[in-house]
């Protein structure tokens, strides 16, 4: 989202994020609800829209655990 909006990691400093923190966020490190809401404020997006599609990964059928006869 940051890149789509033309923002650099350094730009995120003006929103109160350290460069290191932003790198960790983009690397997939878990974030707090407070951080999630701050990101929503920065990009003027609702949490629902930000998280939409996060769990849209196709569900795989469980493996058949039966032993062959």
Q: Where are the domains of the chain?
A: 1-44
What are the pLDDT digits (tens) for 13-54? 999 999 999 999 999 899 999 999 999 999 999 999 888 867
Look at residue 41 in the predicted model and tell me its pLDDT.
Answer: 94
CA distances, 60 to each of 35, 44, 57 (Å): 31, 34, 9
Look at residue 1 in the predicted model and tell me its pLDDT.
Answer: 84
DSSP letter assigned to residue 42: H
CA distances, 38 to each of 11, 26, 48, 65 (Å): 14, 14, 14, 44
Of 22 and 65, more confident: 22
User: Which residue shows structure tokens 């997939």?
Assistant: 28
Contact 40, 26 (CB under 8 A): no
Structure tokens at 65: 């655990």
What is the mean predicted confidence (pLDDT) over 48-61? 70
């Amino acid at each position: 989202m940051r890149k789509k909006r033309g923002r650099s990691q350094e730009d995120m400093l003006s929103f109160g994020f350290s460069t290191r923190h932003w790198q960790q966020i983009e690397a997939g490190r878990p974030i707090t609800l407070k951080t999630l809401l701050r990101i929503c404020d920065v990009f003027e997006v609702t949490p629902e829209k930000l998280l939409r599609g996060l769990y849209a990964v196709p569900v795989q059928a469980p493996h058949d655990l039966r032993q062959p006869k």
